[in-house]
Amino acid sequence: MESIKIGKQKVIIHRYNTVIVGAGAAGINAAVHLYEFFTQKGIKDAQDRIAVVTAGLSLGASRMSGSDKQTYYKMGTSPDVPDSAEAFAKTLTAAGCCHGDLALAEAIGSLREFYHLVQAGVPFPHDSTGSFLGYKTDNDPFERATSAGPKTSKMMCECLQRQVVHYGIKIYDQQEVAHLVTTGKRIIGVVTIDKKSLKAKNFGINIFQCENLILAAGGPGELYKTSVYPKNQTGIHGLAFQAGLAAENLTESQFGLASTKFRWNVSGSYMQVIPRIFSSDANGGDEREFLADFFPTMSKMATNIFLKGYQWPFDPQRIENCQSSLIDILVFNETQKGRRVFMDFRKNPYAVSLPGVGNSSMKPFAIEDLEAEALGYLRKTGALQKTPIERLACMNQPAIDIYKEHGIDLWKEPLEIAVCAQHNNGGFAVNHWWESNIPRTFVVGEMAGTHGVKRPGGAALNSGQVGSLRAAEFIANVYGADMPSKNSATKEIKTQVGWLIAGYESFMESKGLKAKDVIAEIQQRMTASAGHIREINDARKALSGAIDLMSRIKQEGIAIRSTKDIPSAVRAEHLALASVAYLKAIVSLLAQGSGSRGSHLVLSPDGVHIAGTELRFKLENEELRNSILRVKYAPKLPDLFHCENVTPRPIPAQRKAFEPAWKDYRLGKIYE
């Protein structure tokens, strides 16, 4: 570690072979594997060549998010149900816009990484013969899902971090990424603001110079106002765009029902126990059984509440004929009217709450009236008790405990919910070694755009593990363990960090925008126009609002009163650029006549009417399943981003005989 002076600032320089940005499940796993690959190659001080850099070790979706039983998706491990990697890849690509080579690599790598987690100590349940137990998750035709409980991804992080610590790999905490240093061909360093060392005149600037970079900074959760992403999960999408990375499928975010006081998904058992769902006025009065106005019978309504458990993400293809995603629409409708929506586990669903409102022909709730799929599952799990909370206690006690840990007692109070942004299937484009369009920069975890229009629940965690394994393998075998030389790229570093410092100095003089207002404006706009309900004219207006915000930031700056405000100003600036990218992608896709797909519905005056509402939606344009929307930063264009369509790569079908394949492996041809 050394320091240099740039402008008036003392800047600390660190040098590593590989810098990993993000300490979630994907980033931490990359560190573990890279250390192991380097060590296997005879590198004695592998731990000194790798660094993990994060804005907060306790932050991020992996460590802070979950659900009733947070899901890990892998190839089937049932003793009697056969599965294959090709079948798995077909599930991942089924709804289109997914590269087949990534899907196959995720399929093949899924068991290796699953057992890697088992070895690391994640308590995935198995039976007395050692068979790991599975269940059915969203968009999953088999029972490939498994779980270690509500906090699976937190456990993954903790187990993998134990290994990172054991190996002696350094984790730099409290480092807000502020810039990626580029040479035009490569990214050669990460500039951070060390939040611990911000002082009166010290901007806390650190530079992590590297030969290889693994970006694992997660999804852009802070883009949305109504969100179940953990607070402060910002990501670094804007910075990655500025550095030249291309992104794919940004339009394919997932939205679904989640609790808002404590941000948590209410999927799986929370829905399968069929709680009462009601709305109230802003003060909690005037309770209404609003779902009953739209479903023809209690059996249909209760069965669809049950199905929401494993049809969790909002899916516009599950609205017609009173299917489970009608519930998301109706919840959203209520919240749009300024009402609040709750799940009440103390009571079964009611039919009618007000005279003349609702479906007076509905019978009272009775478990035996449920449709076969719901009734069969509740019988199988023994969850036939009188009330939802008793059924939940029988089916999944940890799902109750997690709320208790956060001050919410489901035995005593209802749980407020909303349709929230949860995950982005899209992200930065990678090849089948998770290398981006910039050589030696890899993107893994949620920041990588590896999923298509739909993904099975749990596939995000699997993709993060497999991607980080593959990136580490490629770095160790192709780029090697060399350290950056002391004199390399000094000019670029000094120039680019000089710009940053000048920018912050001007922000300190600025009486312009406040970071908090910039972020609030972005979140408001993204939730209103880039959420689960979209309309082309509205999206166009939102895009021009987002571009206008960028130019206001350029002209007026973001006011910084003290150096402590620098991290939020940094976040506001790059989130603003990220929001332009997302909106540009949305407008571009809608302009191609895309229609409703994945987890968003597209409004259209001549579309299908949702009975009882004013909404009409356009059906999916299936032709676009074979076309992925790719977005790249182009600052000279009026909309700041260039969009193009690329054709998804197919699932590789070539299977070589053992000897030639072995030769390819020995000669390293597999990395070509």
Ligand X SMILES: Cc1cc2nc3c(=O)[nH]c(=O)nc-3n(C[C@H](O)[C@H](O)[C@H](O)COP(=O)(O)OP(=O)(O)OC[C@H]3O[C@@H](n4cnc5c(N)ncnc54)[C@H](O)[C@@H]3O)c2cc1C
Residues that bind ligand X (CB under 6 A): 21-27, 54-56, 59-62, 65-67, 70-71, 153, 175-177, 216-218, 228-229, 233-236, 264-265, 422-423, 445-447, 457-461, 464
Q: Minimum distance from CB of 337 to ligand X (Å)?
A: 25
For 377, the 3-state DSSP assignment is helix
Cβ proximity to ligand X: between 26 and 305 the closer is 26
Report the distance separating Cα 644 and Cα 269, nearest Å: 41
Cβ proximity to ligand X: between 298 and 469 the closer is 469
Q: Minimum distance from CB of 112 to ligand X (Å)?
A: 17
Cβ proximity to ligand X: between 11 and 19 the closer is 19
Report the distance separating Cα 360 and Cα 285, nearest Å: 22
Report the distance separating Cα 328 and Cα 261, nearest Å: 18
Position 247: which residue type? Answer: A
Cβ proximity to ligand X: between 408 and 543 the closer is 408
Q: Minimum distance from CB of 415 to ligand X (Å)?
A: 14
Contact 583, 238 (CB under 8 A): no
Q: Minimum distance from CB of 277 to ligand X (Å)?
A: 19
Contact 534, 586 (CB under 8 A): yes
Cβ proximity to ligand X: between 459 and 643 the closer is 459
Contact 317, 324 (CB under 8 A): no
- Taking the alpha carbons at both ends of the chain, their separation in whole angstroms is 35
Torsion angle of C-alpha atoms 113, 114, 115, 120, degrees rounded to 10: 80
For 322, the 3-state DSSP assignment is coil
Question: Which tokens hold the place of 339?
Answer: 């009402």
Q: Minimum distance from CB of 178 to ligand X (Å)?
A: 8
Q: Minimum distance from CB of 218 to ligand X (Å)?
A: 3
**What count of Cα atoms within 13 Å lies in the side-chain half-sphere of residue 14?**
23
3-state helix, strand and coil shares in percent for the chain, rounded to the nearest 5: 40, 20, 40
User: Within 10 Å of residue 87's Cβ, how many Cβ atoms?
Assistant: 15
Q: Minimum distance from CB of 234 to ligand X (Å)?
A: 5
Cβ proximity to ligand X: between 61 and 274 the closer is 61
**Which residues are bridge partners to 2 per DSSP?**
13
Q: Minimum distance from CB of 413 to ligand X (Å)?
A: 20
Cβ proximity to ligand X: between 23 and 97 the closer is 23
Q: Is the dihedral of CA 70, 217, 46, 34 positive or negative?
A: positive
Cβ proximity to ligand X: between 236 and 601 the closer is 236
Cβ proximity to ligand X: between 55 and 453 the closer is 55
Q: Minimum distance from CB of 560 to ligand X (Å)?
A: 17
Cβ proximity to ligand X: between 422 and 599 the closer is 422
The set of residues, in sequence order, having a beta carbon less than 8 Å from that of 635 and lying 6+ positions away, is none
The set of residues, in sequence order, having a beta carbon less than 8 Å from that of 572 and lying 6+ positions away, is 513, 515, 516, 518, 519, 522, 553, 558
Contact 156, 122 (CB under 8 A): yes
Report the distance separating Cα 76 and Cα 114, nearest Å: 11
Q: Minimum distance from CB of 343 to ligand X (Å)?
A: 15
